[in-house]
Amino acid sequence: MDLHRSSTIILLILSILSPATLSMRYELLSGHTKCISEEIHANAMSVGKYSIVNPHEDHPLPASHKITVKVTSPQGTAYHEADGVSTGQFSLTAVETGDYITCISAVDHKPETMLTIDFDWRTGVHSKDWPSVAKRSQVENMESEVKKLFDTVTSIHDEMFYLRDRASVLALEDFLREEEAHLNTRYHVSRTEIVLTSLRF
């Protein structure tokens, strides 16, 4: 029973802290938009990095290769906006649980141009690979939350051991009470027999 309860608590903690990583490369035609959503839990840290892949590594990126990027919360609050860029990054600490959306639009260009976009979005534990992206205050907030979670887990652990020990003590007390009652009954029966025997003489 204790093993089952412990494994349930561990699974619950892991599901709460479960990280998400979304890394992809895709093509985007100029003048078009592609949106990607990621479910993020409240107070989870998330970081992203995006860039246009240079089709000719020996030459600079053409001027037509620009994108507009916008990251919004489930309620539509903009967390990041970049216009006419070829590369960039963002970081956020989710205020609410829900689907956060990143929309990347290729700048309209005639003739149409096909862009290849590298996009990497990390949430939770995986976001720690990006310390240079995150603002110090967000990292400190996340550190504080992790410490609170650790303290909560420690408290639950200690409480489980206390309850287990208390249950053992209560079981022992019940056993001793039953034994005492049994002994008292035998003592009273023996005493009654002695009194009755002495009355006969």
Quickly list DSSP for 95-120.
SSSEEEEEEEEEPP-SS--EEEEEEE
Lookup result for tokens 């260009």: 109
The 3-state secondary structure of 6-67 reads HHHHHHHHHHHHCCEEEEEEEEEECCCEEEEEEEECCCCEEEEEEEECCCCCCCCCCCCCCE
Instruction: Specify the pLDDT at position 174.
Output: 85
- Strands (E) located in 154-198: none
When pLDDT is averaged across residues 55-80 and rounded to a whole number, the result is: 90
pLDDT at 164 over 80: yes
Q: CA 136 to CA 36: how far, in whole Å?
A: 26
Name residue 130's amino acid.
W
End-to-end alpha carbon distance in the chain: 60
Same domain, 139 and 84: no
pLDDT surpassing 60 at residue 6? no
Domain contains 11: no
Q: Judge if 111 and 190 occupy the same domain.
A: no
pLDDT digit string, tens, across residues 19-54: 456 678 889 998 999 999 988 888 888 889 999 998
**Same domain, residue pair 75 and 153:** no
Same domain, 140 and 85: no
Residues 68 and 87 reside in one and the same domain: yes
Q: Are residues 56 and 148 in the same domain?
A: no
Query: What mean pLDDT is predicted for residues 176-189?
Result: 74
Residue in 109, 102, 119 with CA at minimum distance from that of residue 27: 119
Looking at the fold, whether 152 and 199 belong to one and the same domain comes out as yes
Q: Write out the two tokens for 10.
A: 């561990």
- Of 107, 134, 161, the last residue of a domain is 134
Tell which of 134, 163, 183 closes a domain: 134
pLDDT confidence of residue 34: 95
Beta 114-123 vs 20-29: how paired, if at all?
A: antiparallel
- pLDDT value at residue 75: 94
121 and 156 housed in the same domain: no
How far does Cα 143 stand from its chain's mean position? 13
Output the six-digit token pair for 30. Answer: 């100029």
Query: The domain containing residue 100 runs over which residues?
Result: 20-134
Alpha-carbon gap, residue 171 to 162, rounded angstroms: 14
Q: Are 62 and 91 in contact (CB under 8 A)?
A: no
Does 169 lie in the same domain as 125?
no
- Based on the domain organization, do 33 and 84 belong to the same domain? yes
